[in-house]
Chain A
Amino acid sequence: MKDPATQVSRRGLMKNLIASDRPKRYAMVIDTRRCIGCQACTVACKSEFSVPLGESRSWVESIEKGNFPDVGRNFLPRLCNQCEKPSCVSVCPTGATYKRDEDGVVAIDEEICIGCKYCMHACPYGMRYLHPNTGSVDKCDFCLHRVEQGVAPACVNTCQGYARIFGDINDPSSAVSKMLETNAVSVLRPAMGTEPMVFYIAADSSDERYAERTGVYVRVETNRRQQKRV
């Protein structure tokens, strides 16, 4: 009674409907105006992956500046930029780290990784760390294990200001696409040529050089073991 022609299931139909064979490109837009520096995302990420103390996959920096009484404090959430031209991938001797075709996430195969740390030095953003348990390098992967099940990444899910917007920029109707169309965005360290997929609205790039030049107090805190911002 089964007609082979009707064997093609609904699943195939669905795939056709959703951007057909075109791959996804996961990206994030972070609107720092909505970030209140509560660190819920930092702890969410830490606990989701039981990240060892002393390392972080995602964190929030604070930038305090001004002269009394005109003082401000801004926040800068950080995570792996899942770059289009990742320096880490280009230096990996074993091919353990690679950019996934299906969604653009830069992944690490910990079975292959030999822990040479070349990628850690190559990353202009300080996003990678050596995991003490596995001896391999680890980093943020946009919570693929959640995303594949249709659940938002841990940091996005918990953000009370809705400052982190996540989705597929290859889909013009996605929230990230719409935000990119209508807002002025910047990326971190564009001169490095890595083409990050994390875009910021109102990122505060003040640093010590700015402070020296203008005589304004600037304090940048990473809020983690690595005290210097990368």
Chain B
Amino acid sequence: MSSRSFAIGLGSTPKRVLPGFGLSLGISLTFVSLMLLLPMTGLFGQLAGLSLAEYWAIITNERVVASYVVTIGAAAVAAIVNAAFGLLLAWVLVRYTFPGKRLLDALMDLPFALPTAVAGITLATLYSSNGWMGQLLEPLGLQVAYTWVGIALAMSFTSIPFVVRTVQPVLEDMPNEMDEAALTLGASDFTGFRRVILPHLWPALVTGTGLAFVRSLGEFGAIIFIAGNMPYETEITALMIFVRLQEYDYAGASAIASVVLFVSLALLLAINIWQGRFIKRLHGGHG
């Protein structure tokens, strides 16, 4: 802020001291245009060929709408579960020392490192009727594979690192005096956590959960194996796009994809804006 007003005060942009502006700008812009922006034109070109009525008919098709419900519902459940589980893991990893902590910490990145298809077939196998987990859970009346629970489970698996890895650094950086101030003022563990620590972690927790939710909405490889893909019941939206493509219905695929794309980008933008506001309040910015 101050450096900017300084530049304005001088009435000119400061001269660039370091070399490589032109080169790095050239590489970056070329790459972003060719790899990120140009492909989007294909999507809009395809959509332009559709009338509004056709577009509306495709995206409100009954089976597609059912897939929205399944996807959003499962992603919401997965996100909420991950918020709680991720917070617990981040807390334990930051606040306590215990044997195996390094291993637990390393394990947190597994879902990012493991290919989604591998996660998909593994979860499907584990939770099928004769899998290790399925054998335990089914007698209890909990069917996971080929139900929305399985979808939520797969989503939760692939997105848990988002919550842990966003909350963890914030908790690490939280000054010890916050705890101490709360304790000297007589707060119990629970009250102190609820009124001092949780609000401190809130922006990171919401951001992490939001990112996990966005990721879950688009997840494909980890889900299709465990989902069972029953029309109206366990079909996710990404699968609907995939099916349209296999039928060479590019227009239909594009229409549904545009909905997914719009929702993901809008959510990403919302998370960024919300985070910006919150941070502004905590770190100054008057008014």
- Report whether chain A binds chain B: no
Q: Which residues of B pack against A, CB within 8 Å?
A: none
Q: Which residues of A pack against B, CB within 8 Å?
A: none
